[in-house]
Chains A and B, each alone.
Chain A
Amino acid sequence: MSDQNRAAQKDNSMVIQKEMIAAHYERLERAPETKEPVVYTFVPGNLTELIRSFGCLPVLPEINALQSGMRGKSRDYIAEAEKHGHSEDVCTYVKCDIGMVLAGNIGPTGTKLPKPDLLLLSYTGCYTFMKWFELLREQYDCPCVFLHVPYQGDGVIEPEHREYMIKQLRDEVIPALEKVSGRKYDEEALRERLQLSAEAEDDLVWVLQSAKNKPSPIDAYFGAVYYVGPIFSSFRGTEEGVAYYKALRREVQERLDAGLGPVAPGGPVTDEKYRLVVEGPPNWTHFREFWQMFADEGAVVVASTYSKVGGTYDFGFRHDPDDPLGTLGDYCGGCYTNINLPGRIDMLCNYLKEYEADGFLINSVKSCNSFSAGQLMILREVEKRTGLPGGFIESDLVDPRYFSAANIKNRLESYIQMVDARRQRGAVA
Chain B
Amino acid sequence: MKRSQIVDWATAIYEDLDFSTVHAWLDEAPGRKAAAYLPVYAPREIIHACGMLPVGIHGTGGIEIIRGDAFYQSYICHLPRSVVELAQSGRLDMLSAVLFPSTCDVIRNLSGMWQVMYPDMYVRYLDLPQVADPKLGAEFWKRELNVVRRDLGEVSGIEATEDRLRASVALYNEVRSVIRELYTARRETPWRVPSEELYLLLRAGEVVAPEFFMEQARAYLGVIEQCDDRIKDRTRVLIAGAFCEQPPLGLIKTIERAGCYIVDDDFLAGNRFMIGDVPDAEDPAAAMAETFVTGAIKTSVLYEPDPAGKRNLMKTRAAAAGADGVIFAAPSFCDPALLDRPMLREGAEAAGIPCIAFKYAENSGQFQQFREQAGTFADSIKLWGDA
Contacts and interface: CB of A to CB of B under 8 A. Distances in A.
Contacts of B359: 87, 89
A171 B137 CA distance: 12
A394 B73 contact: yes
A374 B112 contact: yes
Interface in B220-246: none
B113 A131 contact: no
Interface residues of B, number: 55
Contact of A85 (B109, B334, B346): B346
B130 A148 contact: yes
Given A134-B304, A171-B136, A374-B110, A146 B341 contact: no
B187 interface: no
Given A85-B345, A150-B127, A373-B80, A138 B332 contact: no
Contacts of B336: 127, 131
Nearest to A143: B307
Interface stretch (B35-43, B98-106, B153-161, B275-283): B98-106
Contacts of A134: 303-304, 310, 340, 343
Given A123-B303, A146-B131, A151-B102, A373 B345 contact: no
Contact of B115 (A86, A126, A135, A341): A341
Interface string A113-138: 00000000101001110111011011
A390 to B, nearest CB: 14
Interface string B344-377: 0110000000000001000000000000000000
Interface stretch (A52-60, A182-190, A295-303, A362-370): A362-370
Interface string A234-270: 0000000000000000000000000000000000000
A369 B112 CA distance: 14
B92 interface: no
A421 interface: no
Interface string B300-339: 1001110100110000000000000000001011111011
B164 to A, nearest CB: 24
Given A85-B346, A376-B70, A377-B116, A141 B307 contact: yes
B9 interface: no
B25 interface: no
Contact of A153 (B73, B75, B127, B310): B127
Interface in A357-402: 364, 366, 369-370, 372-377, 381, 394
A151 B102 CA distance: 9
B76 interface: yes
A376 B71 contact: yes
B73 A372 contact: yes
B327 to A, nearest CB: 15
A341 B113 CA distance: 6
Contacts of A131: 300, 335-336, 339-340
Given A85-B346, A146-B303, A342-B112, A94 B339 contact: yes
Nearest to A147: B131
Contact of B311 (A121, A138, A154): A138
A355 B72 CA distance: 29
Contacts of A354: none
Contacts of A135: 339, 342-343
Interface stretch (A63-71, A160-168, A196-204, A411-419): A160-168
A153 B129 CA distance: 14
A81 to B, nearest CB: 9
Contacts of A138: 307, 310-311, 343, 346
B130 A373 contact: no
A116 B115 CA distance: 40
Nearest to B100: A153
A123 B307 CA distance: 17
Given A340-B125, A373-B105, A376-B70, A87 B338 contact: yes
Contacts of A342: 112, 115-116
Contact of B133 (A87, A151, A171): A171
Contacts of B139: 164
A366 B133 contact: no
Given A128-B339, A374-B112, A366 B75 contact: yes
Contacts of A168: 131, 133, 136
Nearest to A137: B307
B17 interface: no
Contact of B342 (A84, A150, A366, A377): A84
A345 B307 CA distance: 39
Contacts of A160: 140, 143
B362 to A, nearest CB: 15
A154 B333 CA distance: 27
B111 interface: yes
Q: Which residue of B71, B106, B131 has the most chain A CB atoms within 10 A of its CB atom?
A: B131
A172 interface: yes
B140 to A, nearest CB: 5
B333 A172 contact: no
A151 B104 contact: no
B149 interface: no
A377 B117 contact: yes
Contacts of A150: 127, 140
A153 B338 contact: no
Given A153-B125, A340-B112, A341-B109, A172 B339 contact: no
A148 B73 CA distance: 29
B108 A144 contact: no
A340 B335 contact: no
A90 interface: yes
A374 B72 CA distance: 7
Nearest to A343: B112
A172 B130 contact: no
Contacts of B72: 373, 376
Contact of B111 (A85, A86, A153): A153
B199 to A, nearest CB: 24
A305 to B, nearest CB: 14
Contact of A375 (B73, B311, B341): B73
Contact of A151 (B71, B125, B132, B305): B125
B33 interface: no
A91 interface: yes
B124 interface: yes
A123 B73 CA distance: 25
A32 B375 CA distance: 51
B229 to A, nearest CB: 38
Contacts of B332: 89
Contacts of B300: 131
A364 B115 contact: no
A134 B298 CA distance: 14
Contacts of B76: 369, 372-373
18 contacts: A90-B335, A131-B336, A134-B304, A135-B342, A144-B307, A146-B131, A148-B131, A164-B136, A168-B133, A172-B132, A340-B125, A341-B112, A341-B116, A342-B112, A369-B76, A370-B109, A377-B117, A394-B73
Closest 10 CB pairs of A and B: A341-B112, A153-B125, A131-B339, A374-B109, A87-B338, A369-B105, A373-B109, A340-B112, A370-B105, A85-B342
Given A372-B75, A377-B117, 10 more contacts: A89-B338, A123-B303, A134-B340, A153-B125, A168-B131, A345-B116, A366-B73, A366-B75, A369-B335, A377-B116
